[in-house]
C-alpha cells in the first residue's frame, strides 16, 4: 500500500474544483493523457472517466470509476488498467487552516497488479505519487489563479 500526503496552499473547495473536472485528470495524473468523461456525472458514485496512456509509440486506454464520494472529505476511485488489473485510489481531503491536506492511498485490487504487488512496487508508487500530488497542487494553483 502506498500512502503519501501533500499540503495544497488553497482551500478544499479549490482542490474540488480540479477533482470535479474529468478533462483535467490527464494533466495531473502521472502517465495519463487525454482524460474525458465516460459515464454519468463526474464525480458521482458510479460515474467514470476514460484516459489514454502512451508508452513510446504504444497507446493504451484505461477507465476510472468513482466508488465512494463523501464531499468534502473523501473521493475513492477504482482505476481499471487492462491486463494490469485495477487499483483503489483514495483521496482523504482535510482543511488545514486556510490550506488543504490531501492524503493519497493507493493499492492494487485485481489482476496482475494485485498478484505481483510487493514492497518494490510500493516504492515506485511512492515516486509516482510524489510527482502526481505535485502536479495536482500545480493544477489547483493554476485554476485558482484563473478564477
pTM: 0.88
Q: For the chain, which domains are there?
A: 2-146 (3.30.530.20)
- CA dist 30 and 51 (Å) reads 11
Pairing of strands 74-80, 86-96: antiparallel
Mean pLDDT, rounded, for 119-142: 84
DSSP 23: G
pLDDT grade, residue 136 (50/70/90)? very high
Question: 4-40: string of b/e by CB count within 10 Å (b at 16+)?
Answer: bebebebbbebbbbbbebbebbbbbbebbeebeeeee
**63 has a pLDDT exceeding 70:** yes
Residue 42 vs residue 108, higher pLDDT: 42
Mean of pLDDT values over 5-25? 95
Amino acid at each position: 500500500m502506498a500512502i503519501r500526503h501533500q499540503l495544497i496552499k488553497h482551500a478544499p473547495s479549490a482542490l474540488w474544483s480540479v477533482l470535479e473536472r474529468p478533462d483535467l485528470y490527464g494533466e495531473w495524473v502521472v502517465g495519463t493523457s487525454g482524460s474525458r468523461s465516460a459515464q454519468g456525472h463526474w464525480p458521482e458514485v458510479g460515474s467514470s472517466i476514460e484516459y489514454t496512456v502512451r508508452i513510446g509509440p504504444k497507446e493504451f486506454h484505461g477507465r476510472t470509476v468513482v466508488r465512494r464520494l463523501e464531499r468534502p472529505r473523501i473521493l475513492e476511485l477504482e482505476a481499471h488498467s487492462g491486463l494490469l488489473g485495477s487499483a483503489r485510489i483514495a483521496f482523504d481531503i482535510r482543511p488545514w487552516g486556510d490550506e488543504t491536506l490531501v492524503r493519497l492511498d493507493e493499492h492494487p485490487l485485481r489482476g496482475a497488479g494485485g498478484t505481483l504487488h510487493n514492497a518494490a512496487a510500493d516504492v515506485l508508487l511512492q515516486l509516482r505519487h510524489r510527482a502526481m500530488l505535485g502536479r495536482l497542487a500545480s493544477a489547483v494553483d493554476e485554476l485558482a489563479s484563473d478564477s
